[in-house]
Structure 1
């Protein structure tokens, strides 16, 4: 495995070259290469600290005969699947072409796992109290998109201890006042 000091230039270049051979349209989305078929995202690639990866936006439908695909966030991620590489020697062009061809086929067929509407979420008591304490805070929260509001509420609801909830509220308060989402830095 490469150290964090290394970059993934060689691996990213090899993967991008393989994707450029396809009929997919390359775009830059969220600062990274994303390959699309008729506007539908099919596959993207990026380097991270410990690996470089391809991700298939509708990877849940891929047959994955070589068992290389991962669900990076079990219980959260529904359709997306990642294929991680830690060395350039792991990049097998024929194997990758096969997976990408299957993903393109699924895109042409219109296979898509539709998002399930989220159920009603419960605003935690600590957040309700913060709203009562500061009209500015409540107003800033109300101006966030519903998705950003949900991220913050879920973040607070996932904490078990009151002390953790309090520290999380202290962390997110300036972000909310600035109109930022919890996960904006990753988008």
Structure 2
């Protein structure tokens, strides 16, 4: 037991009975109870396995690597549309938790086996969207298309993130125009352009000394 978790449970304004019951279930497993991210967190050999928490409409038992669990009963759901690894079991009543206790313990045991086996979730990297302002320039210039395609994925992503970060179209256009020569030169957004950097190909700010 963790004193911070005990305090959290005693002061919970929503779903208190449910949270106390969930914590009792998890405490009856080999997991270690810790306090992380302002919530009860349960670990195995210092690796995060599960969380319990309360929201306005429900309380949850969350598995960090829930996507690797078999979930024969289909009780696990994604906490967010784009979530890849975590999965949660949502509850809206104490009775639901009581009825699922054996199942929850079985899922926890499976999650522990996942950690023992060293399994990892294969996270798919989402492609960075191309802002319209840059796409227009690409469509207008085959040379720019070729130069951008020749950059490493990391350098491409760096440019796209920088362009997209601007909220206004005019600012995005200005950024695109500024870096077109650098892209055509085959350099990433953080690459040295003056040749003076001591950390080539990265820029270390040496260009600032040029007068």
TM-score, with normalisation over the residues of structure 1? Answer: 0.61
Query: 2:26 aligns to what SS in structure 1?
Result: helix
Superposed CA RMSD: 2.3
Query: 1:126 aligns to what SS in structure 2?
Result: coil
Q: Give the structure with higher Rg (CA).
A: 2
Partner of 1:110: 118
Structure 1 residues 2-41: Cα deviation after superposition (integer angstroms, max 9, x where no partner)? xxxx720100000001111111111111100110112211
Q: How does 1:10-159 map to 2 (within 5 A)?
A: 10-74=17-81, 76-91=82-97, 92-116=100-124, 120=157, 121-122=160-161, 123-124=163-164, 125-127=166-168
With over 3 angstroms needed to count, the CA separation of the structure-2 counterparts of 1:26 and 1:129, relative to structure 1, is: farther
Q: Which runs of 4+ in 1 moved over 2 A?
A: 114-119, 121-131
The number of residue pairs the alignment matches comes to: 127
Unaligned runs of 5+ in 1: 1-5, 132-187
Query: 2:167 aligns to what SS in structure 1?
Result: helix
